[in-house]
Amino acid sequence: MRLALALNAAGREALVINADSAQVYADLQVLSARPSEAEMHGVPHVLFGSWDGAVACSAADWADAARREIAQAHARGAVPVLVGGTGLYLRTLLDGIAPVPPIDDAVREAVRAMETPDLHAALSREDPEAAARLKPADRQRLSRALEVVRSTGRPLAAWQEHREGGIGGSITLAPLVLLPERALLNARCDLRFARMMEQGAVEEVEALLARQLSPALPVMRAIGVPQIAAWLRGESSRGEAVLLGQQATRQYAKRQYTWLRHQPPADWPRLAPENISVHDQFEILFCD
């Protein structure tokens, strides 16, 4: 937000584009910490709450929408400011995505009904290279690899040898990775979830449960939803829901932290938030 406001003050239009996989869903205002109108300070924001929870937003879906927003912003001389920590979204936008055909619905349903150990065992038979590469407990990636090989007859790695649609080579990037101090980050994660419980998170989960959506949908797996849903069903106490939600938040933050330290290009600056000078760090955006 500081960057967008500084650009506006310098006479340049800024457009904030969401790159967070939870904030895309209209159903997750509180649990995703989606910015309020007041927090937007009059700066246009797009792809926040743009998907109904009943429709899964894939990285490819998001990247298609982001490319359109970026192109439109550039056409009118505006500066797109992408924010969010979903690495797969950003990687898909910049590097492109493997042209994997749509997964057969019957295959997807069968794979997602499998227990995690069975997923790993099946993948070991049908795509042993992927099974050796993936962690046995990584249900999401195991499922994806098994769906692809069963639906297309080719392993995922074969499809990933070719990527399409990336814009990284055709735009000028001014990247910045924010890495706050870990103890402070964990404390903020705990405080964030506790406040959400008092500010509408419970009501959001109640509304989602009332819709009777598939538990396999991303919106139903978002941090806080399973934990609060278990409490609402009488399977745990409110205190347990808070502790488990805080734990899940910290674990996710740890995974993001590790990804951001190692996966983006080495020349992308990595700084603590308190060390940022917007004009110095993004000098290229303020040049005529």
Q: What is the pLDDT of residues 162-184, one digit of tens each?
A: 888 899 989 999 999 999 999 99
Residue 237, burial from CB neighbour count under 10 angstroms (0-12, 13-18, 19+): exposed
Average pLDDT for the chain: 94
- CA dist 138 to 38, 63, 131, 133, 166, Å? 38, 24, 10, 11, 26
Q: Per-residue confidence at 22, pLDDT binned at 50, 70, 90?
A: very high
pLDDT at 224 over 70: yes
Map residue 18 onto helix, strand or coil: strand
Taking each helix axis as running N to C, give the angle between helix 182-198 and helix 201-211, from 0 to 180 degrees, rounded to the nearest 10: 70
pLDDT at residue 288 in the model: 60
Paired residues of 45 in beta bridges: 16
Cβ atoms of 233 and 256 closer than 8 Å: no
76-80, 244-248, 261-265: range with lowest mean pLDDT = 261-265
> What value does the mean pLDDT take over residues 46-73?
96
Considering only residues 80 and 84, tell me which one the structure prediction assigns the higher pLDDT. Answer: 80
The H-or-E segment that residue 20 falls in is: none
- Domains identified in the chain and CATH numbers: 2-97+165-286 (3.40.50.300), 105-160 (1.10.20.140)
Considering the entire predicted model, what is its pTM? 0.84
56-70, 71-85, 157-171: range with lowest mean pLDDT = 157-171
pLDDT at residue 237 in the model: 97
By percentage, how much of the chain surpasses pLDDT 70?
A: 100
pLDDT at 41 over 90: yes
Using left for φ > 0, alpha for ψ between -120 and 50, and beta otherwise, residue 180 falls in beta
Cβ atoms of 84 and 152 closer than 8 Å: no
Cβ atoms of 49 and 25 closer than 8 Å: yes
> What is the number of other CB atoms lying within 10 angstroms of the CB of residue 209?
15
Phi, psi (rounded to 5 degrees) for 16: -85, 125
Between CA 35 and CA 3 the distance in angstroms is 15
pLDDT at residue 144 in the model: 93
pLDDT at residue 131 in the model: 96
pLDDT at residue 186 in the model: 96
pLDDT at 45 over 90: yes
Q: How far is CA 76 from the centre of its chain?
A: 28
